[in-house]
Each structure stands twice: as C-alpha cells, then as structure tokens.
Copies of this chain bind each other. A is one copy, B any other.
Amino acid sequence: LRNRLTTDESTRRRAATLADVAASVGVSASTASRALNGRGEMSPATRAAVLEAAERLGFRPSPLARSLRTRRTHTVGFVVPDVASPFYAAALKGAQSLLQTAGYRVMLMDSEQSVQSEMDALQTLVDHQVDGLLVATAGIGVQDFADVTGDDTPCVFFDSLVDGAGAGAVTLENAAGIDVLVDHLHEHGHERIALIAGSQQETSGSERLDAFVAAIRRAGRNLPGELICAGPWTQAAGAEATRALLELDSPPTAILACSAELALGCLSVCRDLDVELPDELALVSFDDPYFGALLEPSLTAVGYDPSEVGRAAAGLLVEAMENGEGERREVRVPVALVRRRSCGCEDTP
C-alpha cells in the first residue's frame, strides 16, 4: 500500500540509475548495460542478477542519455496545418497507433497553415533529433525543406506533396474522386457545375482543381472561369463562394465542394437563403464527414478512411527509418462514392 517511490527519509530518493543497478550487483556499468540490452555473451548468472537488481530497484533507463549516446531518439515529428481538423486528427490517430506499437513516440507540431511556422516546427524537430518526420505540408518548397532538414531525416509527406521530396508520400486518389463526382453529376443531367476548390498552396487542393478542369473538358463541356472558386479550407470560405455563385447571372445547377468544410459552408448558406437542395441546386463533396448521413439533405460525397492515410504514412516512415531509404514510395489511399440525397439520389441504407 505504501508508495514505492518515496522513502521515509527526509530526502526524496532519486530514481535508480544504471550505475546503481551495477553497484548493487557488484558488476561494472558496462556489464549491467549488456545484461539489460541482451547484447554480447555473458554468464547466465550475472545476467539474472542484473535483471533482478534492476527489477528490485525499479530501474528505468533514461531515454535522454541513451539517445545522446546512440543518436537515435525513437521519436518522430508530426506536423499538420491544423490538428483540430477531423481529417488531420484522424490521420494523427492512425499514425500514432502504428508508431506506438513500433516503439516510437510522437512529437506534435501545428503549423497553423503558415509556411513560416511549418519551417520553425521542422527546425525544432530536427534540433530534437527526431528519427523521422511525418508532414502534411502547408506548402513549403523543396529547397526550404532541404535547407531546414538537411535531408538527413527520413520524411514521409501525406495529404499534400512537396515535389519529389521525402522518402515516401501518401495521398488520396484525388483525380479518381473528382472524376466519379463529376460523372455522377453529369448522370443527373447537370450542365453548369461549379467547383469550390480549397487552397492552391497544397497539392491536395491543386490536384482536385486540375482534375475537375480535366473531367469537364473530357466530357466536352465548356468551363466558364466564374464557376471556379478557390480559397482556404474553411466553412466560411465555402459559404462565401456559394453566395457569390448564387448571385451569378446564370448560377450553377450543381456545386462540387472540395472538402467537407467547404460543403458545410455551402449547406448553411443554402439554408439561410432558402435554396432547396437538391431541387434548386445539387451539392456533392470530396470528403465524407462521419455525420454526412444526418445532414439535411444527407450529403453525397466521396469518402475514404482518414486514419488509413496516417497509418500508411507511418508505415512507410518506419520502413525508411529501419531499413534506410530505398526507393521513394508513393501510396494513394482509395476513395469511394457514397450516394445520398444532396445530389438528387435517394438515401441508401
């Protein structure tokens, strides 16, 4: 019942160190170290004795000291533009869980969508000698990235890419997702489709916009520039874009929002303006929020597993950290269309 870690003496006992364990057994620190790490041959007797002493003294090796010596911290840095966003939070969880079982800790930084903060974050992490980096860039350049990291630390980018940089990359099937959304709207007979795009600083934004333009062209439709709005990934931006689109002389009959946030902004404006969805305007979204079925109208969207993005990225990173960087590997996480009512379909249970 008594707390093992405090003593009756006035002095609070310091945590046991390797030297303490060694002394307690009567061997040298190096022997104790070898015993605990199972390195090298040694008499079973002393090994057992050391193990017993370590247990008895409640010895906990200091990762700090170990890292200083071995130059490995078993820590990876995780950098995202906004941890509070459902997507990044889920990716974080996926990554964290894989990393934890692989024996790595994660140090988290939020770049607040700023390239400068992102560079600061990377600098801090590199200073800490993290073994690897997982970053969803806010739009850093290849050169800046190399300058900060010295290209010494394995890095896997996810969500958005930085040219050919890094030991690997995980992104979504952006083009495929946009294609299926555009096709679906075409099937519903829409001719004037508007795009509410996200930030063009990141490839996750530009790939979707590019894919949209390509899909419309491929279908032989023409594409007025006024039907394309780009801005930050926020609900407010989605609302503003929708308002602008609805005020057009000939407004679109359908809107494709490039993220759930943007779709939500669109939804709320339509509600305010009493625009009936999907009759007066159809809406589809790249990104299926977990409450998509409960919105009014329920949201037709392209969905995917956000935690899988983090998990896959972490997997590549562990690979790169342990086996050295081999081929640069790119993974695309698949997406799938979920038909609901906002496009004009019926809910499917």
Contact B73 A84 (CB under 8 A): no
Task: Let me know if A147 is at the binding interface, CB within 8 A.
Answer: yes
A204 contacts partner chain B, Cβ-Cβ < 8 Å = no
Contact with B along A313-349 (1 / 0, CB 8 A): 0000000000000000000000000000000000001
User: Is A184's CB within 8 Å of the partner chain B?
Assistant: no
Which listed residue (B65, B112, B150, B289) contacts A5, Cβ 8 A?
B150
What's the Cα separation between A100 and B146 when bound, in Å? Answer: 24
Interface centre among A84, A89, A96 (most CB of B within 10 A): A84
A67, A151, A267, A294: residue with the most chain B Cβ atoms closer than 10 Å: A294
Interface secondary structure of A, over-half rule: mixed
Measured CB to CB, the closest approach of chain B to A37, in angstroms, equals: 16
Q: Tell whether, in the assembled complex, residue A291 and residue B307 are in contact, meaning their CB atoms are under 8 Å apart.
A: no
Contact count band on A? 35 or more
Q: Which residue of B lies closest to A110 (CB)?
A: B96
- Interface flag for A60 (CB, 8 Å): yes
A174→B336 CA distance, assembly (Å): 40
* Complex: chain B residue closest to A296, CB-CB: B296
- Which residue numbers of A lie inside 8 Å of B, CB to CB? 3-6, 12, 15, 60-65, 67-68, 73, 75, 78, 82-86, 89-90, 92-93, 96-97, 100, 105-110, 112, 123-124, 126-129, 143, 146-147, 150-152, 264, 267-268, 271-272, 289, 291, 293-296, 307, 349
Question: Knowing that A12-B152, A83-B92 are A-B contacts, what are 14 other residue pairs whose CB atoms are under 8 Å apart, sorted by A's residue number?
Answer: A3-B143, A3-B151, A4-B147, A5-B146, A6-B150, A15-B150, A62-B127, A83-B96, A84-B86, A84-B93, A85-B89, A93-B110, A289-B291, A296-B296
